[in-house]
Structure 1
Amino acid sequence: MANLPRLQPAAFPLALPGPLLYIGTITSAGRRPINKQAAVNPSKTSSRLLLLLYQWLWSLVLPCLRFNSRLQSGYDQRTLRTPLPAADLWIQAASVGEAYLARQLMTSLQPCQPLTILITTNTSQGYDILNRTKNEAGPTLRVAVGYFPFDKPSLMHQALSAVAPRAVVLLESELWPGLMAACKAEGVKLVVVNGRMTERSLQRYLHWPAIWRDLRPHAVLAMSPADGKRFAALFGEEIVETMANMKFDTLQSRQPPAGAAANPLRTIVETTEKFVVLGSVRQEEEKEVSRLLCHLCRRDPRLIIGLFPRHMHRLRHWQQELTARHLPWQLRSQCRHAVPAGTIILWDTMGELTKAYDLARSVFVGGSLAPVGGQNFLEPLSSGIRPVIGPHWRNFAWVGREIIEQGLVHEARTWQEAAAYLLEQAEQLPDRPRTTEALRLFIADRQGGTTKACRKIMRLLAAP
């Protein structure tokens, strides 16, 4: 069992063997009969056996999931004790990131005739986002939000029968074998949108290549040529297309507001000061950032440094750390007037990071000196600042290395390299208009994915 592929951890609360299965020849009350020709096909026989194993594993685990605190919300919908509503289109969005993509689709679809959409999610955070935004849909759309049922094949058959969609959309890296197999059995068209797949996931899936060929969706819209090649290796290249990443459609450059009234931070950081921002610093990189701070203060004692911990509960640590290192610091909440040069402002208020980026001469974006995935380096770019990040930014790999190659973001291998970049940039005023224009062009070349996805979905809905 150790070699069986696994579901994406972010999309599934318990590590179960999967994705394994093909359900197209399984029968139940009211289902189509077994295809006798397929029954003698060795790959089909293997798929059916794996299906039975998957069903059995779900039967074992399902009673335990009742006690999982993350699954308490919507548990009756997850088990279909509360049935899902009928819909023409079913969109599955695993969590927060996918929920925002589902919202993009929902607000961009413009059918001529009334259309009912069901959007399901696995997490309470995703549910809250979708529930808050469902009324943003156009006048011809009626949107319902629910929790995604557990992927037990028999449950998925029931769910698909209840919803009775004409098409199903999976977002990004989601491959749910129970749902995919039920769609195959019922002849429901399924499309993967904004699809991404790592090389590691592909190698796991390829332990069972014939099964995935049986399960393959009607179409895959991959977010990059590299992702497209991996999907093609799994499902066959004839169903795979590439699209621009939908996330680019939500990005835009902007001109930072001018004047003290527009940016209250100008009252504590004068425009003539060399202001450096260390944004979204994570706990895992605190040792490196502490060394970076000491280096900056030693090399240029007149810097004003804004230190933004990613999580507020780390403020006490930073108070102790800065005091122990004899570095002059002040809490943001205690700043009433312009702070003197050489001060570290420890930010203990929310919602001011973008305003700080608007005033900064140089910026480091955290979560990148330790392997925790990185934080949003596009935010300072939108403020006209070309930030420096560490080598760990997999959470934003979808942006592409071109953003590094074009000089919009500087990638440092160590904290020493990051410090050198910050010191260099702090010596001059940033050319914000030039940076925001470069960002605008970078984004514009990569937009349009949402439109392509909507056109594909509408064609599937219109097909007989």
Structure 2
Amino acid sequence: MAMTGVGLALKAYGLAWKLALPLLGLNGRLKDGWEQRTLAGGMPAPADLWMQAASGGEAYLAWEVLRHLKPTGAETLRVLVTTNTLQGYQTLLRAAEEINGRKAGLAVQPWYFPFDAPELMGRMVRRVNPKLAVILETEIWPGFLSACKAGNVRVLLANGRMTTKSLAGYMSWPGLFRALAPDLIMAVSETDGRRFGTLFGRERVGGMPNIKFDRMGDAGPMPRKNNPLRDLIREGDPFVIFGSVRREEEHDVTRLAAGLMSERPTTVLGLFPRHMHHLDLWRRAMDGAGLNWVLRSRLTGPARPGTVILWDTFGELVPAYGLATAAFVGGSLAPLGGQNFLEPLTSGVTPVTGPHWKNFAWVGRELLDSGLAVEASGWQEALESLKKIIDHTPPRREVAAAAKRYIRDRRGGAEAVAKQVADSLNKD
């Protein structure tokens, strides 16, 4: 695509944003941070480094990188960290409090990522005037990238992951994205690297360990006495978690739940929807299967055996894993890419996943080959696997220790990104 074509594409993109912004104002999920998203309430302070983390998961990755950053000289390193979601923003606030409190020569300012309208992004980049922008995972925004190009801001895409579906979408405008390509991409696997190379050119792509291994390297079983959920699950009751289950796998997950509660009737089942706004769907599903259920928010004492707890409270999945006997990790019974099964594993629970976990291929097939996690071909096989784990539960400490050994050899992603940031900033 010639530059005139790129200019026309960006002009059309900007027009689409102008038409969309009034409608976005009606979206209740975007009301948090609206003045920052639209720059109506002003703009942040200038920064040396701008790091973008899409939502809660990426915000934790940003936090890990921030812990490894060091000033490149005598002056304070000013860092703007942005996100698209309330959960991400709350995480970045905690990260900023920790990093700034250490007084280690970093000044971290959280902010909502502006809407990607080229005019808004142009104003934002000119105001912040960073030397380097770091994008975590797959945040490829044309307005942001074009503003960085116009401002001579180098762009590093780190912890890069890309699905075949995402690549297909970006390839609808291949010339545009090639023209706006980041200066360097650090991909977490060879497969992801090839996809980024197809879009942006192989010469820009390198590799790195996934920062998620860094986050989990120090994780371990939480002692029951320290677990904030200990009063909800009686010691000795089989407690099975369905973690991050998705709407698209409702039918199979419901059959899995019904089968488990029928064949192991003393079980307490904790069902964690991946998206809380689909909670009513899971209520109807449990009613349709004839299962007894209670909302987590209404539970004040131990759950009765044979009860499904519909988890309507944020931020409790990891401590729940700390009490679990067994766990099924959702997003994997339908072709959705799966969810992170390292979380139950580091808590000492052998996770069961369905066949669709390609988004977490970075974890490594060796994890399943070693028996640390179990892959089921469908809900029936997942049921049999969960029953075996309930009946013969591996010692929590042994599972967690094996997981820690596996993770230890794969750490170093945050340090690699921090080194690349330092190298880039020192080029000035």
TM-score normalised by the chain length of structure 2: 0.82
The letter for the 2-side match of 1:174 is: E
Deviations 1:419-459 (A, max 9, x none): 22223333334133432222112211221000000010111
The match for 1:173 among 127, 138, 149 is: 138
| % identical aligned pairs | 41
Cα offset, 1:191, TM superposition: 0.8
1:77 match: secondary structure: helix
1:130 counterpart residue number: 92
Deviations 1:227-250 (A, max 9, x none): 111111222222211111111111
The match for 1:84 among 39, 44, 49 is: 44
Q: Could you say what the CA RMSD is over the residues aligned between the two structures, in angstroms?
A: 3.5
1:416 match: secondary structure: helix
CA distance in 2: counterparts of 1:60 and 1:262, whole angstroms: 47
1:280 counterpart residue number: 243
Please say which structure displays the higher CA radius of gyration: 1
Cα offset, 1:402, TM superposition: 3.3
The match for 1:153 among 102, 109, 118 is: 118
- Range that drifts further, 214-223 or 343-352: 343-352
CA distance in 1: counterparts of 2:226 and 2:53, whole angstroms: 42
1:39 counterpart residue number: none
Q: How does 1:23-42 map to 2 (within 5 A)?
A: none
Which ranges of structure 1 fall in alignment gaps of 5 or more residues?
1-41
Q: Point out 4+ residue stretches in structure 1 off by more than 6 angstroms.
A: 258-263, 348-353
How many residue pairs align between the two structures? 409
Indicate yes or no: 2:58 matched with 1:58: no
CA distance in 2: counterparts of 1:352 and 1:55, whole angstroms: 40
2:182 match: secondary structure: coil
Q: How does 1:287-436 map to 2 (within 5 A)?
A: 288-289=252-253, 291-292=255-256, 295-296=259-260, 304-310=266-272, 320=287, 324=290, 333=300, 335=302, 343-347=305-309, 357=321, 361-370=325-334, 374-393=338-357, 396-436=360-400
1:268 counterpart residue number: 234
- Range that drifts further, 218-227 or 76-85: 76-85
Q: Does the 8 Å contact 2:245/2:253 carry over to 1?
A: no
1:243 counterpart residue number: 208
CA distance in 2: counterparts of 1:208 and 1:355, whole angstroms: 43
Q: Structure 2 vs 1, CA of residues 46 and 376 (structure 1 numbering), >3 Å: closer, same or farther?
A: closer
Cα offset, 1:216, TM superposition: 1.6
TM-score normalised by the chain length of structure 1: 0.76
CA distance in 1: counterparts of 2:270 and 2:189, whole angstroms: 33
Indicate yes or no: 2:162 matched with 1:185: no
CA distance in 2: counterparts of 1:372 and 1:431, whole angstroms: 31
Q: Structure 2 vs 1, CA of residues 427 and 149 (structure 1 numbering), >3 Å: closer, same or farther?
A: closer
CA distance in 2: counterparts of 1:83 and 1:358, whole angstroms: 42
The letter for the 2-side match of 1:61 is: A
1:230 counterpart residue number: 195
1:71 counterpart residue number: 30
1:98 counterpart residue number: 58
Deviations 1:270-326 (A, max 9, x none): 3xx7x35243374745654554455456656xx63121122596696588567x479
Q: Does the 8 Å contact 1:332/1:345 carry over to 2?
A: no
Which ranges of structure 2 fall in alignment gaps of 5 or more residues?
none
